[in-house]
């Protein structure tokens, strides 16, 4: 740490915003998220072509089933987090999803006997649950590994790793058959497990006095995440932020399902078009991250602006979509997603570094899974009920603009929640949290 900075070290620090002692952990975190999102994006085009086949007004049963799936898995996750150190429960959770993917291999071979629609529904719901848990668990680990100051510098760089993985997944999905996609996703999850184990070992060799030790149990009860979500001022505002963001995302997704179903009727064409959308979204997100825009905003102006700026951009875009109409729905999905992935998500995840460990794992997981899918159910059900009203693209774009504006207001308030540690004082988080003690009583 006291050695003179070499030119190569200075270049590395300039590009990534990292300190020399953080280099190994940053590289492993980068690879970890690369593997996680690669595993998901290999499967996503296959999942999304089914939504185009059913249309926006018929999506709500799938989101409802996904919500039920997340509720069923939440107690299992909460129990593992309470009783095992993170070096054990992270590989176990990822290993569980690997076993599920292995089970889908013979299922797809027998899809004629099972029924294409039945298998499609099961796969759609499973992938949706899988995505929420593996990504939420990854960012919980990152919030546990780095402090608030580090997160504002490093999370945009780590997010770039995931973006590169999300670029690789659709590219492979365009040319690889279904069975090979499943095995490719498994290989990526195995890489993620290896990175998680290596990061755990790195944390033991480089203990940070401002963070808890990896082998300290979080404790509490499995339902603590749901309880915290209702009692914590910070988490209540995060729920509002999540529901508003999901309103924009689900409306855009539903409108695109209608558009793609109308213009790309075959399953193969729909799968390829969804892959092209994912490719475009992630190229834009990569630009925000690789050009240092996200890191500049978070480091210079703080997490609040990382949440507010995407909302401002979304409002402008959605008002334009209201005027243009059906021809702009793809742009609506691309731009709102790119802002969410490229800036909003690193900012929102960085805030959790200022919360207790129980909030980071259990509270965050409850919001990233249950609250997220609850938003999908509410919005998709509302779209189905509103079908006779012929709201149209313009009407939905205006509703989305109002949701984005409200999201910006909450985004400004969330980092100022009273139950968060000061943004520049991560030491306060090293002490046992009151919420953990209360839930253990």
Q: Strand (E) positions, 51-195? A: none
Amino acid 376: pLDDT: 80
Question: Are 202 and 86 spatial neighbours (Cβ–Cβ below 8 Å)?
Answer: no
Report DSSP state, residue 206.
S
Amino acid 189: pLDDT: 95
Q: Which residues of 23-61 are buried (b: 16+ CB within 10 A; e: fewer)?
A: eebbbbbbbbbbbbbbbbbbbbbbbbbbbbbbbbbebbe
Sequential pLDDT tens for the chain (441 residues): 334 444 445 555 666 666 777 888 899 999 999 999 999 988 887 777 666 555 555 667 777 887 888 777 777 777 776 666 677 778 888 999 999 999 998 988 887 788 777 887 888 888 888 888 888 889 888 888 888 888 888 888 898 899 899 888 877 877 777 788 899 999 999 999 999 999 988 887 776 655 554 555 555 555 666 677 778 889 999 999 989 998 999 899 888 888 887 877 776 777 778 778 878 888 898 888 877 788 888 888 889 999 999 999 999 999 999 988 888 888 899 999 999 988 898 898 888 888 877 787 777 877 877 787 788 888 888 888 888 887 888 899 999 999 999 999 999 999 999 888 877 543 333 333 333 333 333
Surface-to-core class of residue 434, CB atoms within 10 Å of its CB (0-12 exposed, 13-18 middle, 19+ buried): exposed
CA 7, CA 243: separation in Å to the nearest integer?
A: 46
- Structural domains in the chain plus CATH codes: 19-440 (1.20.1250.20)
Which residues, including other chains, have CB under 8 Å from residue 346's CB and lie 6 or more apart?
A: 155, 156, 158, 159, 289, 294, 298, 306
Amino acid 237: pLDDT: 92
* Single pTM value for the model: 0.75
Amino acid 14: pLDDT: 64
Q: Using CA of residue 150, residue 152, residue 158, residue 162, what is the dihedral sign? A: positive
């Amino acid at each position: 740490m006291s050695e003179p900075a070499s030119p190569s070290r200075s270049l590395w620090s300039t590009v990534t915003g990292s300190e020399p002692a953080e280099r190994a952990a940053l590289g492993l975190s980068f690879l970890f998220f690369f593997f996680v999102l690669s595993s998901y994006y290999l499967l996503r085009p296959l999942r999304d072509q089914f939504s185009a086949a059913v249309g926006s007004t018929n999506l709500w049963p799938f989101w409802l089933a996904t919500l039920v799936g997340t509720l069923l898995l939440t107690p299992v996750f909460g129990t593992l987090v309470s009783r095992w150190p993170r070096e054990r429960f992270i590989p176990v959770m990822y290993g569980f999803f690997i076993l599920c993917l292995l089970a889908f291999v013979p299922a797809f071979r027998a899809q004629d006997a099972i029924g294409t629609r039945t298998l499609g529904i099961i796969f759609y719901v499973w992938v949706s649950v899988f995505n929420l848990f593996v990504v939420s668990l990854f960012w919980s680990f990152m919030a546990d590994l780095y402090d608030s100051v580090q997160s504002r510098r490093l999370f945009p760089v780590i997010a770039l790793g995931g973006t590169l993985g999300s670029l690789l997944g659709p590219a492979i999905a365009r040319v690889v058959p279904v069975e090979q996609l499943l095995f490719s996703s498994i290989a990526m999850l195995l890489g993620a497990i290896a990175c998680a184990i290596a990061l755990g070992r790195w944390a033991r060799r480089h203990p940070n006095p401002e963070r808890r030790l990896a082998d300290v149990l979080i404790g509490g009860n499995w339902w603590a995440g749901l309880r915290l979500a209702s009692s914590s001022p910070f988490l209540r505002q995060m729920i509002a932020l999540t529901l508003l963001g999901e309103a924009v995302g689900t409306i855009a997704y539903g409108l695109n399902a209608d558009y793609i179903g109308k213009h790309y009727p075959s399953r193969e064409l729909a799968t390829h078009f969804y892959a092209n959308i994912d490719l475009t979204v992630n190229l834009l997100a990569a630009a925000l991250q690789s050009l240092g825009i996200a890191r500049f905003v978070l480091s210079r102006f703080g997490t609040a602006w990382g949440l507010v700026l995407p909302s401002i951009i979304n409002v402008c875009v959605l008002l334009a979509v209201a005027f243009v109409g059906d021809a702009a729905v793809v742009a609506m999905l691309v731009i709102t997603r790119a802002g969410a992935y490229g800036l909003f998500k690193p900012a929102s995840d960085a805030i959790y570094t200022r919360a207790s460990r129980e909030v980071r794992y259990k509270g965050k997981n409850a919001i990233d899974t249950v609250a997220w899918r609850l938003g999908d159910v509410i919005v998709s059900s509302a779209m189905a009920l509103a079908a006779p009203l012929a709201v149209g693209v313009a009407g939905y774009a205006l509703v989305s603009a109002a949701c984005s504006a409200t999201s910006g207001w909450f985004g400004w308030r969330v980092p100022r929640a009273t139950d968060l540690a000061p943004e520049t004082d991560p030491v306060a988080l090293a002490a046992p949290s009151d919420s953990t003690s209360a839930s253990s009583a």
